Structure formats: structure tokens, C-alpha cells
Amino acid sequence: MKRLEGVSLALGVGGGIAAYKAVELMRRLIDEGATVTPILTANSLNFVGLTTFRALGSNEPITSLFNGDSPIPHTKIGQGVDAVVVAPATADILSKFAVGSCDDALSTILVSTDAKVILAAAMHKEMWAHPAVVENVATIRRRGFVVIDPEHGILAGGDVGFGRLAATEVVIDSVVAEVGSKDLAGKSVVVTIGGTREAIDPVRFIGNRSSGKQGFAIVSALLDRGASVVAVSTVELQVESPRLEVVRVESALEMDGATRRSCEDADALIMCAAVADYRVETPWNSKFKRGSGNVPELKLVENPDILAGVVSESKKFSRKFITVGFAAETDDVEKNGRLKIAKKGCDILVVNDVSKEETRFGSADNEVVILFADGSSRFVPLAPKRAIAIEVVNALAERL
Ligand SMILES: Cc1cc2nc3c(=O)[nH]c(=O)nc-3n(C[C@H](O)[C@H](O)[C@H](O)COP(=O)(O)O)c2cc1C
């Protein structure tokens, strides 16, 4: 499913060096299903060509209030869109919007709309740090509009600092969060995140290399689509939402209990955590000291299979309940995945090959095969974990 299907956007482009990135942003917003009307300031046309926006935009670009077909373009555009996105939003555009100035098409449309406004700031580091800009951004945010901070990196002229336009994906995710499809509204999904820690003594544990990054990305993608999420996590989450409940756990046994309880009221489970297969049968009550004469021997016992347990309990639910597992494989990825989906009895299994350098635990990217219980499958080539998360959530939404 396209995340911006049926969404109408105005894309304002300011007179900054990052204006060329607006072309790619516009194309990607259209790929996501949006209809995009470009609004170019006079200064932006020093940086980018009108022809490109005419060729790639969904509608004829607007460059002035007075030269188009519409007698009152500012109100017509403002009333007809779900959001006005400005990228890059220059210091000048932020300043005008903060005071409500309307001296060209973009600034007038920004003040003539009830739609969501999302401004992706981009400017030189000195401009971004200037008290006038800082205050303007605070004013705009206080009024409930979204300002996407610029990123740190190389700026025009070779300087380095905060000022670069946020990555295209970040801007798109923000648009999706504001006006994207809410097809999972009313659905509750439990997501397990991170690697479990199995105590050896009060200070030592057996752990694994799971970073929780894929889990965060899945939580964000679910929240963007309107779902309520219970995250049963061994790591701290950098996501906040009134629709997110975080249950912190450490060991596999704690995760098992919290997950089963959370699933009682949920519509789906995404088992993204890396759960230890074994735990120490009897952890030491106090720190095991070196030199005490004997080397400790750890007796391990098997941990419960959380996914298989929930799958079996969910058979008793009177409602539809979808289970999604993750499997990290190092060889015969698809074949082992097929065996696993049959053994666990889950509806969907996301299998990733952790033997590759680019997709090992903790990496930013992933490449997966999504297997379905009916025998079908979907390959998702190497992509950032947020893109993988969107595919996993798409697969779940289809089944829900
Ligand atoms: C080469 C060049 C690059 C510029 N880059 C930026 C920029 O990235 N951000 C910004 O706020 N202003 C930038 N400026 C200054 C703006 O162009 C100037 O403030 C202009 O009035 C903004 O126009 P606008 O309201 O159409 O955005 C740049 C100017 C030049 C000459």
C-alpha cells in the first residue's frame, strides 16, 4: 500500500542551496501516492529550473499570485491540500511565517490554509543558530506547526555544522505521520524489541548483539499508520506517542510474561526481539569472585519459545490475531525460514541473512524475505531498516 495514497500536497520550495533536493523529494512523494503542486519562490528559481517542476509535478507549479489561471490561487490551494510542505524552508520563509507576512505566493498560501504545515529548515549554521531564527522556529512550533530540524553535515562552501536539509526519508516520514493513511487506527499491536539478558550473577549476563533498531522502526511505522502499540523492550525507545505503551523487561522469562499479558487485548504480535534460547538455571545471588579456587560452570536450561507460546494461546481467541516472527539465519536462509514458519505456526516470518556484512546485527540496513504461512513470499532487497519496517507493516496490514 502507498503511504500517501489520495493525499494532496503543496510543496513549497525556498531560495536555498538545498532547493535541488526538492526535485527528488517531490518525485518520492508522488511515488508514495501523493498529488503534489509545487510552489516556487522567485528566489528558488535562482537555484532550480521551473521546467523540472513542470515536468515532474502533478500540477502546474505556482510561482506568483498573479500570473496563473486561478483568480484566487492562494485560498484555492490552501483549501484543497492536506498539507503544505516546505523544503527547503529558508530563514526568510521561517521569518515570514512566524510573523504572518504574505508578500509572495508561498508565504500567502501558508497563511491562507487550515491544512497541516511542515517546514524542513535548511540554511547555513550561523543562520540556524541566530537568535532571530531560533525564536521564529519556537513561535512556529508553539502554534502547532511542524519544523523539521536540519541535520549536521557539510554545508555550502565546505563548512560543517547544523544546517543541511533533513534526509528525504525523514521529510517523507514526517508527512506520512501528519497526513498519511491511518489504515491501522483502532488496531493494537504488540512488538518485542532488543536482545534479552540472562543473568549469570548480579553484574554479569549472557546477551546478544541485537540493537533494537529494527524494532524501533517497526514501532514508528505502526504509529504512523494509526495503530496503538505495546512495546515489550529490553532497550530504551526513542519514540514517544500517546498511542505507545512501553513495558521494559530484561530476561526471556520477563519478556515471555509481559508479551503474553499484552497479547490478551491485542490484534497482532510482531516478535522482533532476539530472545536467548537458554538461560543460566540458577544465577549466583552475589558477584562471582575471581580467584575463589574454582572456575564457575554455567548450567543452562532452555527458555520458553515466546512466539510459539503466543501462537498456541491465540488459537483460543475469538478475534483475528496475526503473529509475525523474525528469524536470523546464516545459511540456507529461505529453506530454514520455511521450516521455522511451519514449526512456529506463525502467519508471517521475516527472515534475514545475518551472515552478510551489510545486514549483520546492529547495522543500519537489512535485506529480508517475508514468508507467509500460505507459501507465498516477498523479497525486500537491501534497504534502511525503516524501509524494511514499512514492508513488514504492509504485510501485517494486508493480513489484518
Ligand atoms: C548561494 C546561496 C545559497 C543560499 N542558501 C541559503 C540557504 O540554504 N538557506 C537560507 O535560509 N538562505 C540561503 N540563502 C539566502 C537566501 O537565498 C535569501 O535569504 C533569500 O531571500 C531567500 O528567499 P526565499 O524567501 O525565497 O527562500 C542563500 C543565498 C545564496 C546566494
For residue 2, tell me if it sits in a domain. Answer: no
Q: If pLDDT is split at 50, 70 and 90, which confidence band does 153 have?
A: confident
Asked if the model's pLDDT at residue 121 lies above 90, the reply is: yes
Same domain, 67 and 146: yes
CB-ligand 1 contact for 391 (6 Å cutoff): no
314 and 260 in contact (C-beta within 8 Å)? no
CB-ligand 1 contact for 17 (6 Å cutoff): yes
Q: Which residues contact 166 (CB under 8 A, 6 or more apart)?
A: 120, 148, 149, 150, 151
**Domain final residue, candidates 128, 155, 179:** 179
Same domain, 219 and 241: yes
329: which strand partners? 353
- Of 88, 87, 117, nearest to 100 by C-alpha is 117
145 and 113 in contact (C-beta within 8 Å)? no
Position in ligand 1 atom list of the atom nearest CA 92: 25
Same domain, 106 and 167: yes
d(CA 34, CA 169): 15
**Domain final residue, candidates 157, 179, 201:** 179
10 Å Cβ neighbour count for 63?
Answer: 20
Same domain, 117 and 85: yes
Same domain, 290 and 150: no
Same domain, 202 and 116: no
Residues 41-89: tens digit of each pLDDT: 999 999 999 999 999 999 999 999 887 777 677 778 888 999 999 999 9
**Domain final residue, candidates 158, 179, 200:** 179
Which residues span the domain enclosing 128? 8-179
pLDDT at residue 360 in the model: 62
Tell me the CA–centroid distance for residue 43 and ligand 1, in Å: 7
Same domain, 156 and 239: no
For residue 153, tell me if it sits in a domain. Answer: yes
Mutational pocket test of ligand 1: of 11, 13, 17, 96, the residue with most ligand atoms within 8 Å of the beta carbon: 17
Residues 343-371: tens digit of each pLDDT: 989 999 999 877 776 666 566 678 899 99
Cell numbers representing residue 102 in the block: 504574505
pLDDT at residue 362 in the model: 61
At 36, phi and psi to the nearest 5? -125, 125
CB-ligand 1 contact for 18 (6 Å cutoff): yes
Same domain, 166 and 251: no
pLDDT at residue 361 in the model: 59
Q: If pLDDT is split at 50, 70 and 90, which confidence band does 295 have?
A: confident
For residue 297, tell me if it sits in a domain. Answer: yes
Tell me the CA–centroid distance for residue 17 and ligand 1, in Å: 7
Position in ligand 1 atom list of the atom nearest CA 42: 26
For residue 351, tell me if it sits in a domain. Answer: yes
Torsion from C-alpha of 228, 233, 237, 243, nearest 10 degrees: 10
Distances in Å between the Cα of 384 and the Cα atoms of 174, 289, 366, 380 are 16, 43, 6, 11
d(CA 109, CA 381): 40
Sheet bearing 228-233, strands edge to edge: 244-248, 228-233, 188-193, 268-271, 322-329, 348-353, 365-372, 377-384
Position in ligand 1 atom list of the atom nearest CA 14: 27
Residues 192-202: tens digit of each pLDDT: 999 999 999 99
Residues above pLDDT 90, as percent of the chain = 73
Mapped onto helix, strand or coil, the DSSP state of residue 397 is helix
Same domain, 313 and 289: yes
Same domain, 228 and 299: yes
| Active site (catalytic) residues | 208
CB-ligand 1 contact for 113 (6 Å cutoff): no
Cell numbers representing residue 13 in the block: 520550495
CB-ligand 1 contact for 394 (6 Å cutoff): no
- Domain CATH for 234: 3.40.50.10300
For residue 3, tell me if it sits in a domain. Answer: no
For residue 280, tell me if it sits in a domain. Answer: yes
d(CA 332, CA 320): 32
For residue 85, tell me if it sits in a domain. Answer: yes
Same domain, 151 and 278: no
DSSP assignment letter at 109: H
- Domain CATH for 56: 3.40.50.1950
For residue 1, tell me if it sits in a domain. Answer: no
Total-model pTM: 0.76
Mutational pocket test of ligand 1: of 39, 40, 43, the residue with most ligand atoms within 8 Å of the beta carbon: 43
- Count of structural domains within the chain: 2
Mapped onto helix, strand or coil, the DSSP state of residue 6 is coil
Same domain, 344 and 203: yes
